[in-house]
Structure 1
C-alpha cells in the first residue's frame, strides 16, 4: 500500500487525541477497568514524548524510526515528572485529576501542533511501513550474520517486553493488606472521648473497621477493662485487674479498595456503650482478631483474668503483636 494521503497522513496523531479522550472517559466511568490501566501506561510512558518529538522533528531525514521510538519513551519519562513538579507548586497539587487534565492538555496541544508541522514539512515523517520497506530499513539482505542475530534478538526483546507489560496489566500486584481499626467519640470525631466518668456512668464510643485484606475476613472485637502499672525496676507491665466488658461481637466484612481520591467513607461502625463499677484509673482495651479468635481460660470466680493466661492478650497488645486500641478512663466515686 502507498504512503497514506489526506487525513490518513495524521492517523497516529488523531489516534493519540482519540485515546486521550477515551482514557478520560474510562477514568470517569470505569476506573477499575483493565483498558484504563493499559491506556494509562501509554498515556504516561509513551504519548507525551511521541507528540513532542513529532513536533520537533517532522521531517523524515531528521531521525530514523528507532531513534524516534527510543526518544518517545525517554522524553515521556522526563516530561511527566516535570509536569508533576509544576503541579506541586499550584493549589491543585499532585493528584489524579490535575495530572490527568495537564497531560491531556499537553498531548492535545502538541498533537495538533505536530499535525501542523507535518502539513508544512517537505518530506514529512509518517509512521507507515510495509514489509518491503521494513526489510529495506533494517537492510536484512545486506546484513551479516551478527547483524541479523542482533535484529532477531531485538525483535524478541520487544515482543517479550510487550508480553510482560500485558501480563502486569492483567495480573496487577495487590497492594498492602491491612485493616483499619479505630474508635471515635460519640460525636463521630476523634474527640470528645469519655475519659472521665463516675462509677456506673455510661460512656459511649464508636468502633470502626474497614477491611483492606483483599479477601473476606471474619473479625472479633473483644473489650477488656484493665488496671495495670509499669514496674521501672524490672521494666515489665504488671496487670492487677482484667475484666471482660460486655458487648463483644463478631462480623464478616468483604474487602474494599483503598480510596486515595475523594472523601473517605466508613465500611462498618458500631456504637459501643460501657460503664465501670469501681473507681480508679482504668484502661479500656479494644482487641481485634481476624478469622481466628483466641481460646480463653475458664472464668475465675471473681471474674478477674489478671492471673490467667488471658493477660497475655493485653501484653501482646502493648507490644503491638495484636491489633488493638486503648482508652484511658478515670472513674470517680
Structure 2
C-alpha cells in the first residue's frame, strides 16, 4: 500500500490528534482555533464522502468540496443530538472524543474503499486539472465570469465564517455577587440572633465584566415596612454597619466545564444590639461608590438622601443582597 495515495486521510487523522493535544495544552492558540474550524466544518463530511464515493467518476472535485462542508454541518449536530441522550451530555470532551472517533472510523473505511476501487479518487489539484474540472476552455465568457464570482463568494464566505468563529463577540458582562452561610453553603444563614450575638456570612464576588473592576461593598442595617395597599416602602431606620470594603478584581471567563470556583470571598461577622425585625443589606458598586450625605447626629440615615440607595436596591437598579434577621433579647 502506497501511503501517498492516502495522504489526505492520514492528514485528517493527524490533524485531529494535534487538535486534541492543543485543546488540552494550548487552548488559546490561534492554531487550535483554525484546526477546530476544519475539525467541525470539514473533516467529518470529507471522510464520510470519501468513504461513500471512492471512485473518481462518481463525483467531481467541486461536488466533493461542497458536500464535505454541507455534510459536516449535518453530521456534527446529529452527533450532538445523540450525546444529549447520554450521561455525558453536550460538553467539550464528549464532543471532541465523538468527532475524533468518527473521523478515525470513516478515514479507515475510506482507506479500505479507496484500496478496493478500480479508479480511485486521489485528491491532487493542479491548474490544468482545475481548468478541466471547470470545463474552462469550453465555457463561454459569461460562464467563466460566473464561475469566478462563485469561487470568490465561496472563499469569502469561508473566510467570514472563520473570522466570526475565531473572533467571537464577548459574552454578556456581569458580576456574580452572593452571600453564603458560615459553612460556605447557601444555608444556615444567621437569621435568628439575640442582642449582641455574632452572626457570620461569606461575601463573594466574581468579575465577568471583561475588564478590571474595583468593587465597593456597603453594608446597611435597615428597618422598613412595605405597604401593599399604596405600593410604598417606609424606611424607619438605616444605619451603616462596620466592615465596608473595596477590592479590585480582574475579569475571569465564565466556566462552562468543570466545577465552579470562587474568585473573591470574605468572611463578615456582625452583631445587632437592638431587638426587632431587621434587614442587613449588602450593596455592590462598581468603579466608585456613591457620595453619602453628612452623618446625622443619631446615625440614622433614614431621612437623608442615602435612603435612595435602599429604594434603588429594592427596585433592582443597584446590585444588592439582603438578610432578614429577627433579633431577640
| TM bucket, shorter chain | over 0.9
> Is 177-186 or 134-143 further displaced after alignment?
134-143
Q: TM-score, normalised by structure 1?
A: 0.96
The residue that corresponds to 2:70 in the other structure is 74
The residue that corresponds to 2:270 in the other structure is 274
The residue that corresponds to 2:312 in the other structure is 316
Contact 1:286 1:325 in 2 (8 A): yes
For 1:71-220, list aligned pairs within 5 A: 71-220=67-216
In 2: Cα distance, 1:159 partner to 1:99 partner: 27
Deviation at 1:170, TM superposition (A): 4.6
Deviation at 1:319, TM superposition (A): 1.2
Provide Cα deviations, 1:44-76, integer angstroms capped at 9, x if missing partner.
111111111110111111111222112112211
The residue that corresponds to 2:240 in the other structure is 244
Contact 2:195 2:275 in 1 (8 A): yes
The residue that corresponds to 2:220 in the other structure is 224
The residue that corresponds to 2:28 in the other structure is 32
Deviation at 1:6, TM superposition (A): 2.3
Q: Secondary structure at the match of 1:44?
A: helix
Q: TM-score, normalised by structure 2?
A: 0.97
Q: What RMSD in Å do the two structures reach over aligned CA positions?
A: 1.3
Contact 2:37 2:162 in 1 (8 A): no
In 1: Cα distance, 2:8 partner to 2:301 partner: 73
Deviation at 1:257, TM superposition (A): 1.0
Provide Cα deviations, 1:296-324, integer angstroms capped at 9, x if missing partner.
11111111111111111111111111111
**Mapped pair 1:56 → 2:72:** no
The residue that corresponds to 2:40 in the other structure is 44
Question: Which residues of structure 1 form unaligned runs of 5+?
Answer: none
* Alignment length (residue pairs): 329
**Mapped pair 1:300 → 2:296:** yes
Q: Secondary structure at the match of 2:48?
A: helix
In 2: Cα distance, 1:35 partner to 1:312 partner: 52
Relative to 1, partners in 2 of residues 1:63 and 1:43: Cα closer, same or farther, differing over 3 Å? same
Question: Which residues of structure 2 form unaligned runs of 5+?
Answer: none
Q: Secondary structure at the match of 2:38?
A: helix
Q: Secondary structure at the match of 2:251?
A: coil
Deviation above 6 Å: which 4+ runs of structure 1?
A: none
